[in-house]
Amino acid sequence: MVASFRKRLLLVHLAVILAIVACTALAGYWGLSRAVHGQLDAALLALAETEMAMLPAAPRQPVQVHEVAPGLAPPSLTRLDRLVQIIDGEGRVLARSRNLEAAQLPASAALLARLAAGETVFETLPKFGEEPLRMISIPVPSSGSRLAVQVAGSLDDTNHVLAAATVLFGAMALALLAAVGLAGEMLTRRVLGAIDDVVDQAHSIGEASLHQRLPHPGTQDEIGRLVDTLNAMLDRLEHGYDAQRRFTADASHELRSPLSRLRTEIEITLRRPRESPEYVDALASCLDEVQRLTTLVEELLMLTRLDVGQERNAVETIELNPLVRAAAQRLEKPAAQRGIRIVFDDSVAVHARVAAGPVDLVLANLLDNAVKFSPPGTSISVHVARDGAHAIVGVADAGPGIGVEDLPHLFERFYRGAQARAGEAPGFGLGLALSQAIVHAYGGSIEARNRPQGGALFLMRLPALD
């Protein structure tokens, strides 16, 4: 594909250069042609004006072309190839230069009419004699009888100059085209060589070598920016692949644990006949494990749907105060059993543009975590506020807080802090990850921090109603 692109790029490059060279050559040829013809026209006009100035002032004096008599002086080189003729208003020849002999410069009716109107006329005579001629016809002002002076010169030298210029411009164009084409080929090969290196390296990167990066050309041009972009994409792919592997491993572990407990419970129960109460206890224990499995699978399914954008409910305008109050009331009884009090501050009514069901699930997760990690005899503070374009829900506890090493990973899937891993709090480590995915799906954010007076604070920001 790169080779084909190189060929197409080279063809386009050559076509552009050829067009530029052709335009330049044509412009140079046209300018030279105008200059050469302009010089010839100026010379003919000067000779015609000189001849006109030497005409007799009296109308009855003889009209003649002023030439040097043969043998009296060297010939005038400026007049060797000039044909001079003087005509009247009817086109009759009154005088002519010796080199015209019996020939006559043409004077058509259209030319006579233009001369009578006082116009100076330039013409090209392609078939006069053996060579093409350029002729000027100029009327003589203030003459009793209308006279005109005609001067013609050969175009043969001019055509030879233009022919030589054509060959010269053609050779220069071919040389320039070859030089620029060679330079373009070298530049194209150099530029696309860097792309070849990138392609070769990209082919060698697989699942097991996502840590490798594409070679940078060392420049900040288009190729350099492309390599930077691709390397940044590889960073995201590596991070996503590592997260997927960790997720798969953690999910397998979390699913295996309750399944192992179920299998052990059933095997122990079936080892020997038992009384009905024992079977009831075994089935109740199995039901608890099935419930844990169901919860885990439902949370995994919801996370997957959120990742692909399928779990987002319709957005509506809701008042957060009653929603937060209801979530707090549902946990008042479990909290009271541990000697924990929930304090709710809803002095300011706040409205947000979200879906009530998913936000209620996030509130339940945050409050449940606060109850799990709060020591007996403490209180949990819940408040609702407005901060610019965001509605804020804060949940603060008086527990041990969040470990410094746990803060960066708190919202990762299946991540559990030191206390949770020690068995002090049940769960799978999906609650905060699920909460963050829900809040992000509705354009909000969620963050965790430690309070200066002790305990953890979770802040949920949601788009507020304007």
Same domain, 322 and 398: yes
Q: Which of 255, 286, 307 marks a domain boundary?
A: 307
**Residue 198 is assigned to a structural domain of this protein:** no
Same domain, 138 and 156: yes
345-386 residue pLDDT tens: 877 888 888 888 888 888 888 888 888 888 898 999 999 988
Question: CA dist 189 to 14, 38, 115, Å?
Answer: 14, 47, 65
101-127 residue pLDDT tens: 888 888 888 888 898 888 999 998 888
- Angle at alpha carbon of residue 421, lines to 336 and 242, rounded to 5°: 125
CB 24: neighbour CB atoms within 10 A? Answer: 14
Same domain, 323 and 294: no
pTM, entire model: 0.48
Residue holding tokens 């067009």?
A: 19
Same domain, 252 and 288: yes
**Residue 211 is assigned to a structural domain of this protein:** no
**Residue 301 is assigned to a structural domain of this protein:** yes
- Rounded CA gap, 461 and 116, in Å? 96
Q: How confident is the model at residue 1 (pLDDT cuts 50, 70, 90)?
A: very low
Same domain, 277 and 320: no
**Residue 204 is assigned to a structural domain of this protein:** no
What pLDDT does 459 receive? 92
DSSP state of 218: S
Q: Is the pLDDT of residue 9 over 80?
A: no
Same domain, 280 and 348: no
**Residue 97 is assigned to a structural domain of this protein:** yes
Same domain, 288 and 339: no
- Rounded CA gap, 50 and 276, in Å? 142
**What mean pLDDT is predicted for residues 168-172?**
81
Structure tokens at 39: 């010089």
Question: CA dist 50 to 70, 278, 405, Å?
Answer: 20, 139, 106
272-311 residue pLDDT tens: 887 888 878 888 888 877 877 776 677 677 766 666 665 5
What pLDDT does 77 receive? 44
Same domain, 248 and 324: no
What pLDDT does 246 receive? 67
Q: Which of 112, 134, 160 marks a domain boundary?
A: 160
Q: How confident is the model at residue 78 (pLDDT cuts 50, 70, 90)?
A: very low
- The mean pLDDT value of the chain amounts to 79
**What mean pLDDT is predicted for residues 176-193?**
73
Same domain, 397 and 365: yes
207-259 residue pLDDT tens: 777 777 877 777 777 777 888 888 888 888 877 777 677 666 666 666 676 77
20: containing domain:
2-56+63-68+75-160
Same domain, 432 and 330: yes
- Rounded CA gap, 465 and 194, in Å? 52
CATH at residue 100 = 3.30.450.20
**Structural element, H or E, at residue 344:** strand 341-345
**Residue 419 is assigned to a structural domain of this protein:** yes
CATH at residue 299 = 1.10.287.130
- Rounded CA gap, 121 and 234, in Å? 77
**Residue 202 is assigned to a structural domain of this protein:** no
Judge whether 391 and 376 are in contact, CB under 8 Å: no
**Residue 390 is assigned to a structural domain of this protein:** yes
410-422 residue pLDDT tens: 887 777 665 554 4
Q: Which of 307, 324, 341 marks a domain boundary?
A: 307
3-state DSSP assignment of residue 110: helix
Same domain, 450 and 335: yes
- Rounded CA gap, 36 and 20, in Å? 24
CATH at residue 442 = 3.30.565.10
- Rounded CA gap, 253 and 302, in Å? 19
- Rounded CA gap, 461 and 444, in Å? 5
Same domain, 273 and 344: no
Domain count, the chain: 3
**What mean pLDDT is predicted for residues 47-68?**
76
What pLDDT does 241 receive? 72
